[in-house]
Amino acid sequence: MKLSSHALRALQELDETGREAVEQIVRAHIRACRLNGFQPENLERVYQEAIEIIRLEGPPKKDPMIAANKYEPTRRYEQYRSPRAL
């Protein structure tokens, strides 16, 4: 897989822990795609999104309580509420 200069530069700006975390996210994405029966497309975009996740949230923590519950989502998103509903 060949990355663009922008993605490669962003990956190189991360420290070693960050790069390992990005690679872990990308490998998990590829594994999930294959388990669902299709080949992953546009890995360039997957790398860019993984880099953004690591920049915003930092590398994943090795907390045994989080790993114990495999059904708990890893991140939560606020639900949109219109200004009228408030």
Residues 6+ apart with CB under 8 A from 54: 14, 18, 21, 22, 25
What pTM was estimated for this model as a whole?
0.66
d(CA 18, CA 59): 6
Whole-number Cα distances in Å, 62 to 12, 25, 65: 23, 15, 9
Query: What pLDDT is stored for residue 27 in this prediction?
Result: 92
Query: What pLDDT is stored for residue 73 in this prediction?
Result: 59
Q: Which of 26, 21, 5, 30 is nearest to 57 (CA)?
A: 21
CA-based radius of gyration for the chain: 16
Please, what are the averages of pLDDT over each run of 10 residues along the chain (86 residues)? 82 90 91 88 89 85 58 65 68
Query: What pLDDT is stored for residue 7 in this prediction?
Result: 84
